[in-house]
């Protein structure tokens, strides 16, 4: 299998898993009091799962009175996409229109698939296939979930709440080959799990990202990984 076909397969796997979770959002949005068209407009224009679920969750708890809080929570979670945009800017390249178009597709999944590739061309393929694919699939499944929400029941009974997490785990696992990556993954998971009962949905991920920034900035375990080959190399100077 060629490298590009492998990227397509990886991207489409993430597209299917994430799109399936859109049914959950559509069902929950309607259950929270939104109309079908309102749920669909959120997916079309906002298009960032964490922010959408945060908006619906706060709105469901407080109704119209909680609308400012719902908007603020969604906006706060959307800040992470700014960081993704800075990371993906050299990958996307091109002119202003290309960057404007890419901004709407810069999400967790498209960024993850892109940066997991080793070549610039493959990064672009991974970004566009994942971003556009999820946009189409997410909006389609949002409509389906909004229409059949009452029939579907609780999305958790179908395992849809774990689809996105399973896709990210599949992307992360092949990269856990050095102590630096393993340390970041374990520490971030512990921090996210600890803050999940205390913070709004999506915020624990932002807190856990601080762990990755600190470890990456100081490169504690990276220096140890780099020193291993030197220490284990045979002494040929004698």
The closest of 139, 136, 167 to 37, measured between CA atoms, is 139
Q: Is the dihedral of CA 55, 60, 64, 65 positive or negative?
A: negative
**Span 175-190, pLDDT tens digits:** 677 777 787 778 888 8
pLDDT tens for 141-169 read 999 988 887 666 666 666 655 655 665 66
Whether pLDDT at 15 is above 70: yes
Residue with tokens 């999944």: 109
Tokens read off for 60: 């469901």
Q: Mind listing the pLDDT tens digit for each residue in 207-222? A: 777 777 777 676 666 5
pLDDT of 6 > 80? The answer is yes
pLDDT at 61 over 70: no
């Amino acid at each position: 299998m060629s490298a590009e076909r492998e990227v397509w397969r990886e991207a489409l796997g993430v597209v299917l898993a994430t799109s399936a979770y859109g049914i959950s959002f559509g069902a929950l949005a309607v259950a929270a009091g939104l109309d079908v068209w309102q749920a669909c407009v959120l997916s079309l224009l906002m298009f960032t799962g964490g922010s959408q679920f945060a908006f619906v969750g706060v709105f469901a708890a407080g109704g119209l009175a909680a609308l400012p809080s719902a908007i603020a929570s969604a906006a706060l979670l959307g800040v992470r996409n700014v960081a993704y945009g800075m990371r993906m800017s050299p990958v996307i390249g091109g002119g202003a229109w290309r960057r404007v178009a890419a901004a709407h597709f810069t999400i967790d999944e498209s960024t993850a698939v892109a940066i997991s590739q080793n070549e610039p061309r493959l990064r672009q393929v991974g970004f566009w296939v994942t971003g556009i694919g999820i946009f189409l699939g997410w909006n389609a499944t949002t409509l389906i979930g909004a229409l059949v929400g009452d029939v579907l029941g609780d999305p958790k009974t179908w395992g849809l709440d774990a689809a996105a997490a399973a896709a990210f785990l599949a992307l992360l696992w092949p990269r856990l080959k050095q102590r630096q990556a393993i340390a970041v993954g374990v520490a971030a998971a512990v921090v996210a799990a600890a803050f999940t009962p205390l913070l709004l949905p999506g915020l624990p991920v932002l807190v856990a990202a601080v762990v990755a920034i600190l470890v990456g900035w100081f490169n504690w375990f990276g220096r140890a990984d780099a020193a291993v080959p030197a220490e284990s190399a045979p002494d040929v100077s004698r």
